[in-house]
């Protein structure tokens, strides 16, 4: 069970949730002394606003504001905002129990690998919140991976985590390494050539319905990124343990899909690699082979994530999936354009992009679409190879990276690329500082939609 949740909580106190327009009515049903106390606190029902309710024996309960929309983040501050060691149950009210459970569980999370911490307040899981608990468990597992120091989580450990995920849910996993990797995923092998920790590709397959559509998930798993010979500055390297955030997100999505038993087939590809500096590291202007056969000139060794994804996308396309989704902490340019909270979405299919955006809005897991502008395609041209991995123009870096990836996806295959941050810079309700599985809930909702789509099921059959 996740920290902060319990199937049964002895002595659980009532937790009331109130919208701003419902404060007056709520005050009317409280005992007079408690109502007077709550009025004196100035409680108005703002999202996440917390007030304790006094009783004859001390603490009688608490009330939280839902604000205008009542999403999960209204409950995200409660595990750390309510008294430590207390237990709570949701009182009947206007809240969505699943959203409340999700927000509580995500707010209770803290990384525990190397530091113990105070236990949060505990919520008794309400009925019909099992899906929310499942999503929270998958997200917190992804957070653990992203938060793990690179010394603890290298390519071997990340690939092993994919294998363990497959084993837990009835999937199968092949790990490609050594000579097979050199031949089958040559760009990934080149990225990892400078590290003593050899690269790997983890290939997870799972069948929820043999007649269901095949969904391919590709995750960038750069366990640490020095930038290679185009070395990052120390400040730019500080958070590079999170450069495998895309892999953690697709693993979280895969766990949600498998535990939901969605009627589809999954192919999950994780390129697990370290971009290090040594005498065997790839060099600027080296020309690399890729699985697709295109030759890529290395314009910058710090643009290694797109090389990893290039081989994964090519492999995924060979399997004739209904759609391909990739996730990566790919460019700083996307963060300049959209900030940390809005992953950049690129897609070669307007219908897919619209569905994914709608899923993000519905799940309160947002993203923002940016264009695959054909006019920038020539920026990848180079005389030394079929294309460069970077543009030499200091503009539109996220767009150029997405255009590079598009070269490795057939135009006829619906594809979406998510350039995400995978990190919370500061603690907010439900989103503690550290690793974050951005877009995981939205992608799960999309796959559930696709799995039930008659058009995709007819195609699979």
Active site residues: 232, 306
Handedness of CA 209, 211, 212, 214 (dihedral sign): positive
Question: For residues 232 and 80, what is the distance between their CA atoms, to the nearest angstrom?
Answer: 36
According to DSSP, the β-strands at 214-225 and 287-289 are unpaired
Spatial CA neighbour of 191 closest among 269, 329, 289: 289
What residues have CB less than 8 Å from 238, skipping those under 6 apart? Answer: none
- Cα 220 to Cα 320, 394, 419: the distances in Å are 21, 24, 10
According to DSSP, the β-strands at 122-124 and 87-90 are parallel
Question: For residues 275 and 89, what is the distance between their CA atoms, to the nearest angstrom?
Answer: 48
Burial class (CB in 10 A: 0-12, 13-18, 19+), 7: exposed
Structure tokens that stand for 10 in this block: 């002895």
Spatial CA neighbour of 223 closest among 339, 105, 342, 308: 308
According to DSSP, the β-strands at 58-65 and 434-435 are unpaired
DSSP letters spanning 229-287: TSPPPHHHHTTGGGGGHHHHHHHHHHHHHHHHT-SSEEEEEEEEEEE--STTS--TT-E
Structure tokens that stand for 197 in this block: 């920790």
């Amino acid at each position: 069970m996740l920290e902060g949740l319990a199937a049964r909580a002895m002595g659980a106190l009532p937790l009331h949730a109130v919208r701003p327009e419902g404060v007056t009515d709520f005050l009317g049903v409280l005992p007079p002394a408690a109502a007077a106390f709550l009025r004196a606190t100035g409680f108005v029902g703002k999202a996440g606003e917390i007030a304790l309710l006094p009783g004859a024996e001390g603490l009688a309960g608490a009330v939280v504001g839902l604000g205008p929309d009542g999403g999960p983040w209204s409950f995200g501050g409660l595990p750390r905002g309510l008294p430590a060691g207390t237990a709570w149950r949701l009182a009947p009210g206007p809240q969505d129990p699943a959203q409340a459970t999700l927000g509580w569980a995500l707010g209770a999370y803290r990384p525990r690998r190397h530091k113990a911490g105070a236990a949060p307040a505990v919520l008794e899981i309400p009925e019909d919140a099992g899906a929310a608990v499942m999503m929270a468990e998958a997200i917190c597992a992804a957070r653990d991976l992203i938060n793990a120091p690179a010394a603890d989580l290298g390519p071997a450990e990340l690939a092993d985590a994919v294998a363990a995920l497959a084993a837990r849910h009835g999937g199968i996993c092949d790990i490609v390494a050594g000579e097979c990797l050199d031949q089958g995923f040559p760009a990934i092998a080149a990225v990892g050539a400078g590290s003593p920790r050899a690269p790997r590709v983890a290939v997870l397959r799972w069948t929820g319905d043999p007649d269901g559509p095949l969904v391919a998930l590709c995750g960038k798993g750069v366990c640490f990124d020095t930038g290679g010979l185009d070395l990052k500055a120390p400040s730019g390297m500080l958070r590079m343990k999170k450069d495998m955030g895309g892999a953690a997100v697709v693993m979280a999505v895969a766990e949600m899909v498998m535990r939901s038993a969605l009627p589809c087939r999954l192919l999950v590809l994780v390129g697990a690699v370290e971009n290090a500096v040594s005498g065997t590291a790839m060099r600027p202007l080296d020309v690399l082979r890729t699985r697709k056969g295109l030759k890529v000139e290395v314009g910058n060794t710090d643009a290694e994530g797109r090389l990893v994804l290039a081989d994964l996308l090519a492999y995924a396309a060979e399997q004739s999936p209904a759609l391909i989704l990739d996730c990566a902490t790919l460019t700083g340019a996307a963060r300049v354009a959209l900030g940390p909270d809005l992953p950049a979405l690129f897609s070669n299919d307007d219908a897919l992009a619209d569905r994914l955006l709608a899923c993000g809005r519905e799940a309160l897991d947002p993203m923002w679409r940016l264009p695959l502008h054909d006019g920038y395609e020539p920026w990848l041209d180079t005389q030394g190879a079929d294309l460069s991995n970077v543009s030499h123009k200091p503009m539109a870096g996220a767009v150029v990276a997405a255009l590079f990836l598009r070269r490795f996806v057939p135009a006829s295959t619906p594809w979406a690329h998510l350039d995400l941050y995978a990190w919370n810079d500061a603690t907010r309700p439900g989103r503690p500082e550290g690793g974050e599985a951005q877009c995981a809930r939205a992608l799960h909702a999309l796959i559930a939609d696709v799995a039930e789509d008659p058009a995709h099921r007819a195609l699979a059959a």
